[in-house]
Structure 1
Amino acid sequence: MKKNFFIFIIAVLVLGSCSKDFLEPKPTNAVPDDEVFNTVDNVETVMNGTWSYMFEEFFSYAVPGYKSIHLTSDAMGSDIAVTQSYGLRDSYGFTEMVDNTKNRVTAFWTILYKVIDNCNNIIAKIDNATGDDAKKQRIKGQAYALRAHCYLTLASYYQFNRTGTEKAVPIYLEPTTATSVGKPKSTIGDVYKQVIADLEKALPLLKDYQRNPSQKWKIDGNVANGLLARAYLYNHQWTQAITASVAARSGYSLMSGDDYNKGFSDLNNVEWIWGHGQTPNQSNASYNFHFLDVSTPASYYQSFMCDPYFQNFFDSADVRFRLFDWDTLPDQEGYLRYKKFRFRDATALVGDLVLMRSAEMYLIEAEAYTRNGNNGKGAEALNVLRAARNATTYKGGGNLLDTILVERRKELWGEGFALSDIIRTGGTVVRKPFLSYTGEDSIINVRRADGTFLQVAGQGHLTLKQPDGKAFTPYSNYYLFAIPISEVQNNPNLNN
């Protein structure tokens, strides 16, 4: 690990401007450490700047910060039919994320490890800063949790967890310097252990912290428990996942049907536990909506269309079913739109980004109970969510676990879980052509705005097989993200 790759930042610093939620200048390492970390207010500025870098840094229009990892995850799943017009086509086709020379591959790795290094600096140095002890503890807890979040993201995309012994990614727990030596890959089991250890350290440090409701980007006890619930679920620790998921959703009710149809772009949604807010002056991360928003005219890409078969998972009375319609616009004609995401402000092209919801916690609880052999409790948790969506309740029959995994696809569509769920469960991408029973194009009668109907050929998935021409299979290496060529070349210990 040479310094020319790990250009780790000591976050955005404008000393004396710590009252801002986010800091406008780009990250810099120009301020000496003794000044950066000498007061707790300065350390909080480091934390704020680290968060801002994570979400607001553009590597390209196709990589608008951390949430572009979620875009990529969903583009590589089963339920989003990415158009060939703009953006994420190569990820969707499984040719990009296996290529360690690609910009997106390097960007994701850089974002995650830069944030990890900043968290390492905060954890190592905040105890010596002057200032309020309670504030120190809170910031340290947030640093542990954010570091855990980054390692959990790495664990989710860079290796399968079949035995726990598979080599995954390096673990760094101390600040890097010009003389730092690159570390070898740790096992996937050790990465999960580190995630859980960090979150267990974070929770007592955050137990008395009450954040401002308008600052849902700040990590509190609910967020830390939600991350812990994910980590336990992904690491097959079912009992602990149940406890953490219940704690995470405490105080966060499920939204109404009407709220579900408002566009998933407002931090004030009662169900959002964690999210990244946007304003007209701080809106780089809103660029993610240009991919997701397929109904706002000003949305530029509108590339995340829906697999037509996905609609069949929903009851017609389900509030989520209202979001489907067929597109009649040129170049998008015949695609099924799922209008879950829309800019909160269509004029300013601004929208808040969701990171964690209480609905996910019910799904974690349902899955963990079921995998632990308690189908009754699993169905109960599932039906709380289904009742809130006005969907038919589960009354037995079929495979409950499969039902829950499908419910995750329905509920969390577009929120970044598609590929990570396939990787963690040993599942597979499922894509098939949208054809009639005769094997010809399916013809759709589409109602236009003027009330007339138009017959169009329905559009579905354009990539139906792996790049090697074979069918998608469980545990395919095409699902895993590559480690960038710069890290491979500059870290001689990587594969030791």
Structure 2
Amino acid sequence: MKRKLIYLYIVVAGILLQSCNKYLDIQPVGTVVPSTESDFRALLTMGYATFPSHKSLLLLRTDELILDPYSDDVDALRDIYIWNDESPAPTTLSYPWEQFYKSIFYANLLLTEIDSKLGDNDVTKQMKAEAYLLRAYGHFELLNCYAPVYNEANKQHKGVPIAEKIDLEQNFPVSTMEEVYTFITADIQHAMALLQTADQPSNHRYRFSKRAVHAFAARLHLYRSEWGQALSEAQAALAIEGGLVDLNIDEALLPNDFESVESIQALDNPMTAQVNSSTSVSEDMLALYDRVNDKRFARYFEEKSGGEYKSRKGGNNKFKVSFRNGELYLIVAEAALHSERKEVALEALQTLAKHRLTGTAATEQTADLKMRSVSELLNFVQVERARELALEGLRWYDLKRWGRPEIQHVFLDKTYTLQAGDPRYTIRYPKEAVENNPELL
């Protein structure tokens, strides 16, 4: 009976989900008990479609955006922008929790049922690999939102609950950060052994592939300061496809466009239309660019009346991005510098510069970087990550791992400050999550 209720829930969810998104190729499950390849693919697609747009809310906490106090959605976004996590207004959007676990639920259901229904073949191996990775990525993003940066000193710190099986009566105690990372790593390893698809076509770019699993592993190891592994995984992804968009070509796609050569996986929506229409780009972000020689400035941002700039990189499903090559070259650079492989880092930075700067500026930057020390180059990589990956949902995580610097936001002439080292860099468990799971206390 319990299992029938689970399947019924899936059917209802499938009916309620918007079904016209051609980009995600969403189809309803259509049967009570998945039994065919198409049933299980639809089940997995539901898991992808349920994945939350949490990075759009994280953007508001960074130094990248200015919230318009007169926007239509200000009541939903204001308290996020001023880091008022303790007593937000009832209209404030909640950071996702249930959505993550719903997405994980679909992955778990597929892993529970597919072997008995379809057996072992290349198609089921690929779907199982994707389910393992969807589950792993959900736990990874939960951990990055609701736990501090991992290091040896705090690896036993409270993390998030691990959901690895279908059990409606299961208790969900909070696992330590180390336990969650161990679980994530095991899922990645399971997936690597099963994956059949090296790279997904653009119409299925939201799905995991061999290229995506290496990019995922590279970021995971980067965040854990495991430099050698981060470097090798980034290089493995780039070996499958290492192309970069050349922004010196006027008609070139944006690097975070899901149809660009750089796009590896386009699952996350780092800037929803709601956030995009309610914000402008901060002066701190704009000041990082050479407006003449850095081709990213004119392509990433659009000047509006009053001298404010809006983002060109979000507000549309075509700009969904989870992993892309621009980030991988920067992971190579950062990890190589920490691994005493300066020449590898310089080569990666030079390759990126050729596709982002004018020819003369790229040549001058390359010559300048060769003269810099490793510590100076690491500082450069930090700034270059801010420029290259602007408004793609990774800045909050970078600020956390780079020491949690002070950020100030001005809203209606009042200055709000996120202090250096502020505990608010670790987001609180949502109130409704705590109410439903006392284990979180």
Aligned residue number for residue 332 of structure 2: 365
- Contact 1:100–1:484 (CA<8 Å) still a contact in 2? no
Aligned residue number for residue 443 of structure 1: none
Give the TM-score of the pair, scaled to structure 2: 0.82
Query: Tell me, which stretches of 5 or more residues in structure 1 are unaligned?
Result: 1-5, 55-65, 278-284, 293-300, 345-349, 434-459
CA distance in 2: counterparts of 1:243 and 1:424, whole angstroms: 21
C-alpha distance 416-389 of structure 1, shift in aligned 2 (>3 A): same
Of the candidates 367, 370, 382, which is equivalent to residue 405 of structure 1? 382
Aligned residue number for residue 22 of structure 1: 25
Aligned residue number for residue 437 of structure 1: none
Write the deviation string for residues 249-279 of structure 1: whole angstroms up to 9, x where unpaired.
33140101036875567422111111159xx
CA distance in 2: counterparts of 1:404 and 1:367, whole angstroms: 7
Aligned residue number for residue 39 of structure 2: 42
Aligned residue number for residue 434 of structure 2: 488
Aligned residue number for residue 296 of structure 1: none
CA distance in 2: counterparts of 1:149 and 1:185, whole angstroms: 17
Counting only pairs closer than 5 Å after superposition, residues 69-468 of structure 1 correspond to structure 2 as 69-86=54-71, 87=73, 88-96=77-85, 104-105=93-94, 108-130=96-118, 133-160=121-148, 161-162=150-151, 163=153, 164-177=155-168, 179-181=169-171, 183-208=172-197, 211-249=200-238, 250-257=240-247, 258=249, 262=253, 266-276=257-267, 288-292=272-276, 301=277, 303-315=278-290, 316-323=292-299, 324=301, 326-328=303-305, 333-335=306-308, 337-341=309-313, 351-390=318-357, 391=362, 392-393=365-366, 394-395=369-370, 396-397=372-373, 399-431=376-408, 464-466=415-417
CA distance in 1: counterparts of 2:212 and 2:333, whole angstroms: 19
- Give the Å deviation of 1:308: 1.6
SS in 2 for 1:481: coil
SS in 2 for 1:165: coil
C-alpha distance 97-429 of structure 1, shift in aligned 2 (>3 A): farther
- Give the Å deviation of 1:287: 8.4
C-alpha distance 208-41 of structure 1, shift in aligned 2 (>3 A): same
C-alpha distance 101-122 of structure 1, shift in aligned 2 (>3 A): farther
With 230-239 and 316-325 compared, the bigger mean Cα shift is at: 316-325
CA distance in 2: counterparts of 1:7 and 1:105, whole angstroms: 27
With 191-200 and 373-382 compared, the bigger mean Cα shift is at: 373-382
C-alpha distance 192-97 of structure 1, shift in aligned 2 (>3 A): farther
What letter matches 2:294 in structure 1?
A: D
- Contact 1:39–1:131 (CA<8 Å) still a contact in 2? no
Is the helix fraction higher in 1 or 2?
Answer: 2
CA RMSD of aligned residues (A): 3.3
Write the deviation string for residues 370-410 of structure 1: whole angstroms up to 9, x where unpaired.
22333332233222212221143323156221211111111
CA distance in 1: counterparts of 2:131 and 2:319, whole angstroms: 22
- Contact 2:212–2:265 (CA<8 Å) still a contact in 1? yes
What letter matches 2:401 in structure 1?
A: R
Q: Percent identity?
A: 24
- Give the Å deviation of 1:479: 1.9
Query: Tell me, which stretches of 5 or more residues in structure 2 are unaligned?
Result: 1-5
- Contact 1:77–1:419 (CA<8 Å) still a contact in 2? yes
- Contact 2:267–2:321 (CA<8 Å) still a contact in 1? yes
CA distance in 2: counterparts of 1:272 and 1:238, whole angstroms: 23
- Give the Å deviation of 1:483: 1.2
CA distance in 2: counterparts of 1:248 and 1:146, whole angstroms: 18
C-alpha distance 463-145 of structure 1, shift in aligned 2 (>3 A): farther
- Give the Å deviation of 1:97: 7.8
- Contact 2:245–2:255 (CA<8 Å) still a contact in 1? no
Aligned residue number for residue 3 of structure 2: none
- Contact 2:230–2:335 (CA<8 Å) still a contact in 1? yes
C-alpha distance 98-375 of structure 1, shift in aligned 2 (>3 A): farther
What letter matches 2:272 in structure 1?
A: N
CA distance in 2: counterparts of 1:371 and 1:461, whole angstroms: 43
- Contact 2:212–2:237 (CA<8 Å) still a contact in 1? yes
SS in 2 for 1:305: strand
- Contact 1:76–1:91 (CA<8 Å) still a contact in 2? yes
CA distance in 1: counterparts of 2:112 and 2:176, whole angstroms: 24
- Contact 1:242–1:364 (CA<8 Å) still a contact in 2? yes
- Contact 1:141–1:203 (CA<8 Å) still a contact in 2? yes
